[in-house]
Structure 1
Amino acid sequence: MAGLSVRSFDAPDESRTPQKTKLDVVDLGGVKAARLTAQPGWRWSECIKPVVGGDSCQAHHVGVISSGSMHVVHDDGTEGDVGPGEAYVIEAGHDAWVTSSEPLVAYEFDSSTAEKYAAST
């Protein structure tokens, strides 16, 4: 059966606001997507780790950055940068931080991550 689900991130089903972070989550009929806005100075290990615990981010991220940029370092030492207009997959076991002077705005499409990211355990 064909269907269309449309939701606005400006009227999300849920918003989470850890330090220097805003995560807006929309439910598209059982599939969740999120808009992450992270302010300059945001770093996973300083802003999200206190909420979720652990040594590194264990979320699997699939998304695209619309503005701003970030640097990602994996537990195994691999690292790289992601910027505006770039799609990404970030595997579990990493730290990341905003490298731009403007807020990072990214859209996440891994439904499980969108549902659980930055939520207290």
Structure 2
Amino acid sequence: MAIFSKSFDEPDERRTPDKTVVDVVKLPGASVARVTFQPGWRWSECIQPVVGGDSCQVRHVGTLLAGEMEVIHNDGSKARLLPGAAYVIEPGHDARVVGEQVAIGLEFEAQAAETYAKS
């Protein structure tokens, strides 16, 4: 078969740290995650207790589908992500949901999909 498809409604794996749902689908040669962050979510408060460390050490490649997020890198740079934004976020950052809307993103980096928010 040359075409593979899976639904995030029936993920291969689901992780649910505080204010977070990570749904992972595994395809031949690729893993993709849909990540849902509730209002009030912040990496240093919701994910750090699960994985440890001073900042997120995962490289993210994805797109934000809904909501708004702010990413603060250890080097002092900041970015606001809005719906429709494609992004690459290098390791060494904190992030938070901005406002009262749920933020939903898709992660295309296989390592991020397979390991994010996993103890």
TM-score range, shorter chain: over 0.9
CA displacement at 1:82 relative to structure 2:
0.3
Q: Which stretches in structure 2 are left out of the alignment for 5+ residues? A: none
For 1:42, give the aligned amino acid.
W
String of CA shifts for 1:69-119, please: whole Å, max 9, x gaps.
100000010111001011110000000000031100000000011000000
For 1:53, give the aligned amino acid.
G
CA displacement at 1:29 relative to structure 2:
1.4
C-alpha distance in 2 between matches for 1:70 and 1:35: 15
Alignment match, 1:67: 66
TM superposition outliers: structure 1 runs of 4+ over 2 Å? none
Q: Which stretches in structure 1 are left out of the alignment for 5+ residues? A: none
Alignment match, 1:34: 33
Alignment match, 2:17: 18
Matches within 5 A, 1:1-121: 3-120=2-119
TM-score for both structures, normalised by structure 1: 0.96
CA displacement at 1:5 relative to structure 2:
1.2
Residue identity (%): 55
C-alpha distance in 1 between matches for 2:50 and 2:6: 27
**SS of 1:66 mapped into structure 2:** strand
Q: How many residues align?
A: 119
For 2:92, give the aligned amino acid.
G
String of CA shifts for 1:15-65, please: whole Å, max 9, x gaps.
000000000000011310000000000000000000000000000000001
**SS of 2:4 mapped into structure 1:** coil
